[in-house]
Amino acid sequence: MANGVTPQDLATALRVLAMDAVEHAGAGHPGMPMGMADIAVALWHGHLRHNPADPSWPDRDRFVLSNGHGSLLLYNLLHLSGYGVSIDDLRSTRRFGSRTPGHPEYGLTPGVETTTGPLGQGLANAVGMALAERLLATEFNRPGHAIVDHYTYVFVGDGCLMEGISHEVCSLAGALGLGKLIILYDDNGVSIDGPVSGWFADDTPRRFEAYGWQVFGGVDGHDIAAVSAAIAAARQEAARPSLICCKTLIGKGSATMAGSKDCHGAPLGAAEVARSREALGWPHPPFVIPPGIGAAWSAAESGKALQADWTRRFAAYAAAFPAEAAEFQRRMRGDLPAGFPAIAAHLVQAMAAAAKPWSGRQASQEAVARLAPHLPELIGGSADLSVSTMAVWPAAKPVSAEGGGNFVCYGVREFGMAAIMNGMLCHGGFRPFAGTYLVFSDYARNALRMAALMGLGAIYVLTHDSIAVGGDGPTHQPAEHLAALRLIPNLDLWRPCDGVETAVAWSVALEQRTTPTVLALSRQAMPAKSRNPVQLLEIRRGGYVLSAEQGRLAAILIATGSEVDLALAAQAALQEQGLHVRVVSMPSTRSFDQQDAAWKQQVLPPGPPRLAIEAGVSDYWRKYVGLDGDVLGVDGFGHSAPPDELFRHFGLTLEAVTAAVRRLAGV
């Protein structure tokens, strides 16, 4: 290496910066960055194709630090290789407003491909990235024109592999043959609680071999050449993902604490840092990198050359296939087709004209069938229940190990499914949606939260949205799920009452690039509702007057989903009794809450008492009905019984609604 700089010098720089930054912050995880420093040199200095000047270059290799508590390893790599992460950013790690927070965060730090806080999810995101690469390559590459040709590399630790999601996604990655996915496993045998041998006795190599992976076992994680050779060999395998098991010493480079849990999640202490500097032969002050080592680490010139070569090749591709090149660029930007507003409007009009008594899941399937031909980036999926959720549509083509497709059969892997979707969105080029039962959103909830946190426009088709599931009983009947999902910041939940609202919900979901959307859909059929052209436009506001009162307003009924039919029936019955009520359909509380005060007051004027009706826990609706209003809901876990019996049991009946209105109106 030039100027007398050795690969070990590069690793030492990573180790010392990690010690310095954690010590300066007074908190952090130095053990993993120090232990994986040699592995990082092998990958980042020998194989990773990236350009620090353009972190969004489409054909860059993706790197995911799944063991995200070791964030300083990634921040140090980004700084040293030339990304926009300064030495001052390293000094400010874990500070408010810092670009170097305690875990890598997507969209905040250049070069961070996904947020990796909860262990295992970064690995799952990486599976999604590798899947996106494979599908895009199948769709866009042409003989002699490989414009999509990159690898996805993942660093994982024991914690990532203990989490159940690792089984879900690695099993699927093996079945799909994602040969450009390469994991480097930091097998240091230590977690915060100490040596893991007492609670993590898996034979990890054999586990991954059983998944159908190529496995490199027993690699010395501190032998840079050996790790590099394993990476090179992994890159030669096209049909299987690869796991490289690197045996390491946590905190490698620490004078007296290496190998101990004490260096996992706390500063080493000033005295130990000083001893370690001396042991490493590093005489430089904190946060100082000698110019020679800094120059050796820089990827500015190599990255520029790599991207320039790709740009030249893409220009040749564009000359030969101009339509495909333009489509690829649109897809990677995340833009909808130019004519999408007209496509969405036509969908809504078609659903209104059909006027069918669709269930929510049927209406969703119809919407997807109409949208998919216009949106090649749309890729569906389901956690084994595609026939029941109707997430699959007639023209869908399953994704397999043999080639492309636009529908992923995830198997019974709700959590992995949602996290893989996040990875596909981070990669770019696709708008994924996937389905399961609403009650099973509990399995996937943390990945839904991560989509909202990262600002990813994932779409979840969650069906069987109430006790109307019936005979399957309380394990399959959602109660608190609607409210719980609505409480996630930046997640939009739509619970439509018919095919038209479902079409609008789909249109809004696709337009929301930085907000994930839950479509909570009924199992049972719901009659089509009559609306005028103005009302069709008002649905997008999340809450609107579906059926106005005919005289002095005695009460306002607010309902969602199938319970809108109950509200309309109660309105008719009360009209015969001389009481005039308004029916407000509120398919999206988030969208309604974002409206201006004038609209909210127009829909929910002050004065008349309000009654909310939804087959879910009642507390969420108190903010709309106030202390003087009431809520009819399901404050329990359901029973195994026909739907009609359950609705009677929980008081979601015409008689209960009319009685509640009369009580609120004081008559």
Long-range contacts of 82-86, Cβ-Cβ distance < 8 Å, separation of 24 or more: 82/52, 82/53, 82/298, 82/299, 82/300, 82/303, 83/52, 83/55, 83/110, 83/111, 84/52, 84/110, 85/109, 85/110, 85/111
Structure tokens belonging to residue 172: 């699927």
Please tell me the distance from the alpha carbon of residue 607 to that of residue 280, in angstroms, as a whole number: 75
Indicate if 23 belongs to the active site. no
Tell me if 341 sits within 8 A of 173, measured CB to CB: no
Please tell me the distance from the alpha carbon of residue 356 to that of residue 353, in angstroms, as a whole number: 9
| Cross-strand bridge partners of residue 585 | 544, 559
- Comparing CA positions, the residue from 558, 505, 496, 498 lying closest to residue 525 is 498
At residue 615, the 3 state secondary structure works out as coil
Structure tokens belonging to residue 403: 């080639």
Please tell me the distance from the alpha carbon of residue 549 to that of residue 551, in angstroms, as a whole number: 6
At residue 516, the 3 state secondary structure works out as coil
Please tell me the distance from the alpha carbon of residue 240 to that of residue 179, in angstroms, as a whole number: 4
Please tell me the distance from the alpha carbon of residue 12 to that of residue 304, in angstroms, as a whole number: 26
Instruction: Output phi, psi for 433, to 5 deg.
Output: -135, 155
Please tell me the distance from the alpha carbon of residue 249 to that of residue 264, in angstroms, as a whole number: 11
Rg of the chain (C-alpha set): 28
End-to-end CA distance of the chain: give it in Å, rounded.
90
Indicate which residue of 139, 272, 377, 414 is catalytic.
Answer: 414
Active-site residue set = 414
